[in-house]
């Protein structure tokens, strides 16, 4: 496994001291609660116009009333590719920042509307399609929220059974989806560089943050343990949002991965962190990209006249 970098963490980085984002437009998926809402609030306070992209617009509008700054709410269901396409087709403005934050965690076996395993379909394939459909409008960054779970049990992409039909466990499915987030970021940055785009793709993880993400966990024993952990050990959502905000606003190279600097990357100030060997494999990243294009019907938007190199 790759080790954490030796770069110094930025202990002075604070959500209320972001660069001036006046005139910028940001989309934050899953922004009606937790880290997504905290991220949206910090970006709006810094001057950005923030679009809360949420499945439940009533909850989204309620959440938007707590944000100090310019916001709007738009419907987006990442578990439904028709909803993803509708969101992207309705987009008309320049887009400076896309934060792929929404996610589900350790659910009982479920399928998306398109028949994908729910965690892979929501956490990876929905964001894969959304990002590629919005790329023609993007001028700044894509930040995808991953997780230390990408290391669980030597996680890998099960190309022969992506939906884990024969080997499903909530933990295995979640780990695969979070590994996919990092591989997506790696291959997206490769493609952006190859096509001369100034857009940067980065990933971040919150460490152990207390949010409602854990509430959908299938196993009641695990759910109870997570509730205890949330109460006594976890960071709050404000601290959990700092790696995302750091990746979104600081001068970092493409494909960077940001997380907390504390023990086990569970809590602390944001810094560049390492990833598993599997998460840094460019061949797996390219293979996953090709499969994701086939499953979603969405391709990387090459500049006019260019042809994609075969994998």
Query: What number of other Cβ atoms are within 10 A of residue 107's Cβ?
Result: 16
- Torsion angle in degrees (nearest 10) through CA of 220, 224, 163, 123: 140
Which residue spans within 109-233 are E strands per DSSP? 138-145, 200-204
Distance of alpha carbon 99 from alpha carbon 65, whole angstroms: 20
Q: State whether residue 272 is helix, strand or coil.
A: strand
φ and ψ at residue 273, rounded to 5 degrees: -130, 165
- 208: Cα separation from own chain's centroid: 16
Distance of alpha carbon 164 from alpha carbon 157, whole angstroms: 10
For residues 254-265, one letter each, b for 16 or more C-beta atoms within 10 angstroms of the residue's C-beta and e for the rest, the string is bbbbbbbbeeeb
Sign of the torsion formed by the C-alpha atoms of 145, 149, 155 and 160: negative
For the question of residue 174 being annotated catalytic, the response is yes
Do strands 270-272 and 257-260 pair parallel, antiparallel, or not at all (unpaired)? Answer: antiparallel
Task: Please say whether the beta carbons of 69 and 50 come within 8 A.
Answer: yes
With tokens 């310019």, the residue in question is 70
Marked catalytic residue, from 168, 174, 208, 257: 174
Task: Give catalytic residue positions.
Answer: 174
């Amino acid at each position: 496994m790759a080790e954490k970098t030796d770069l110094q963490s930025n202990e002075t980085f604070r959500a209320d001291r972001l660069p001036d984002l006046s005139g910028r437009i940001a989309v934050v998926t899953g922004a009606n609660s937790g880290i997504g809402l905290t991220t949206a609030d910090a970006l709006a306070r810094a001057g950005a116009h923030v679009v809360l992209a949420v499945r439940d617009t009533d909850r989204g509008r309620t959440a938007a009333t707590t944000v100090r700054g310019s916001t709007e709410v738009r419907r987006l269901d990442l578990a439904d590719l028709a909803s993803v396409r509708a969101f992207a087709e309705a987009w008309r403005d320049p887009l400076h920042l896309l934060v792929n934050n929404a996610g589900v965690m350790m659910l009982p076996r479920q399928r998306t509307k398109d028949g994908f395993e729910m965690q892979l379909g929501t956490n990876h394939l929905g964001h894969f399609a959304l990002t590629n459909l919005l790329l023609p409008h993007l001028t700044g960054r894509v930040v995808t929220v991953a997780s230390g779970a990408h290391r669980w049990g030597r996680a890998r992409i099960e190309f022969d059974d992506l939906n884990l039909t024969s080997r499903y466990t909530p933990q295995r499915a979640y780990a695969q989806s979070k590994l996919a987030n990092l591989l997506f970021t790696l291959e997206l940055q490769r493609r952006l560089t190859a096509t001369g785009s100034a857009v940067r793709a980065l990933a971040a993880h919150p460490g152990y943050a207390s949010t409602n993400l854990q509430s959908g966990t299938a196993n009641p024993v695990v759910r109870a343990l997570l509730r205890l952990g949330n109460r006594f050990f976890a960071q709050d959502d404000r601290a959990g949002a700092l790696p995302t905000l750091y990746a979104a606003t600081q001068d970092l190279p493409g494909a960077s991965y940001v997380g907390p600097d504390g023990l086990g990357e569970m809590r602390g100030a944001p810094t560049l962190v390492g990833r598993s060997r599997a998460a840094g494999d460019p061949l797996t990243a390219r293979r996953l990209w090709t499969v994701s294009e086939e499953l979603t019907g969405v391709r990387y938007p090459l500049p006019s006249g260019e042809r994609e190199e075969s994998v």
